[in-house]
Amino acid sequence: MKEWVDFRAVQQAVSLEAVLRHYQVPGLRRRRQLEGCCPIHRGTRNDSFRASLSQNVFHCFACQAGGDVLNFVAAMEKCSIREAALRLQQWFGVGEPGSGAASLHLAPGSAQKVELVREKEGGNPRLHFALARVDHDHPHVRQRGIDRATAVAFGVGFYAGAGLMSGRIVIPIHNEGGTLVAYAGRALDGRLPKYKLPPGFRKGLELFNLHRAVATGSETAIVVEGYFDCLRVHQAGFAWVVALLGSSLSAEQERALGERFERVVLMLDGDTAGRTGSRLISARLSERCLVVVVSLPDGAQPDRLSPAAIQELLHKADQDCFKQDDEVT
């Protein structure tokens, strides 16, 4: 039987700072993040390696290595992710199943105390790096009906570098102020999860594309479920579209929509989850603003509709909005 590995326990229990201390990486400068020479490819550029202690991730702009503690140890040891997890379990004493909370102990010979980096309250922390060499012309992007101009504008494409998002279609996520806070990675080969997000990222705090929608000055927001729904609706000529990243509405998303827009057009999927979500979200938002629900055909999703079909549905919703406005006045 293979030795037991608890990947999640390792990721949650062991901080990147503790691992850097274990390897005694020299010369790292502490600013908003740690910066210095990359210990993986032993480069000489003293600003290529960046480690975000708030997010527990790293990236090297020279060798393109990146990811979490598992990716770092795998790169340093030239081993698999599973072997990296086993080594971290041994070095830091992450508990076996049933042992309760994982206890942390530094590897023999290290006298420094491990500090767990906890997620800051109040919002998702800023991402202190951007993925390089993203392929905006990847066939999957084209197959989803996304043209190059849209892919470039949103930063969407295939990432072949090392790290958490390796081998996935990456989608940058910004907060309402336009600050990059995460990447979502869409699998291409049936791997699970279908969409990968960084550990600790709270998607309920964000509305995808909110900063661009607000910048249009529109008093109306179109709300869809997913990333590609948002991209296709934006591409059809409606730049004031945002995505929930699901079919439910968090309290923070409700606040953002209610404070930023006078009207909300709900364009969720034409399935049970989408229709239930539309009903519940409409009931909540109607206390803050005018809400119009677009009913998609059974099984339909915005990202699978033609630009003409999207435009027809939303122009009708626009007329319904102003009819309701007239009734109110």
DSSP symbols for 97-143? TTS-SPP--PPTT--SPP---PPPTTSPPPP-----S-BTT-HHHHH
Q: What is the pLDDT of residues 263-300, one digit of tens each?
A: 999 999 999 999 999 999 999 999 899 999 999 999 99
Rounded to an integer, what distance in angstroms lies between the CA atom of residue 245 and that of residue 73?
31
Q: What is the pLDDT of residues 299-323, one digit of tens each?
A: 999 999 999 999 999 998 877 765 6
pLDDT on residue 106: 32
User: Where is pLDDT greater, at 83 or 89?
Assistant: 83
Q: What is the pLDDT of residues 214-257, one digit of tens each?
A: 999 999 999 999 999 999 999 999 999 999 998 999 999 999 99
CA-to-CA separations, 115 to 66, 127, 285, in angstroms, rounded: 21, 21, 42
pLDDT on residue 232: 98
Q: For the chain, what percent of residues have pLDDT higher than 90?
A: 53
User: Where is pLDDT greater, at 104 or 89?
Assistant: 89
Confidence class for position 86, pLDDT limits 50, 70, 90: confident
Contacts of 22 (CB under 8 A, 6+ apart): 91, 106, 107, 110
CA-to-CA separations, 154 to 33, 68, 237, 316, in angstroms, rounded: 25, 24, 15, 27
Rounded to an integer, what distance in angstroms lies between the CA atom of residue 284 and that of residue 177?
24
Mean pLDDT within 176-198 = 91
pLDDT on residue 113: 29
Spatial contact of 243 and 221, defined as CB atoms under 8 Å apart: no
pLDDT on residue 166: 92
Confidence class for position 122, pLDDT limits 50, 70, 90: low
Mean pLDDT within 108-131 = 54
pLDDT on residue 173: 97
User: Where is pLDDT greater, at 209 or 113?
Assistant: 209
CA-to-CA separations, 133 to 63, 162, 187, 196, in angstroms, rounded: 12, 11, 18, 19
Contacts of 235 (CB under 8 A, 6+ apart): 145, 146, 147, 150, 307
pLDDT on residue 35: 87
User: Where is pLDDT greater, at 23 or 263?
Assistant: 263
pLDDT on residue 97: 39
> Whole-number mean pLDDT of the chain?
84
Mean pLDDT within 112-139 = 69
Domains and CATH numbers, the chain: 7-92 (3.90.580.10), 139-203 (3.90.980.10), 210-328 (3.40.1360.10)
For residue 102, pLDDT over 90 is answered with: no
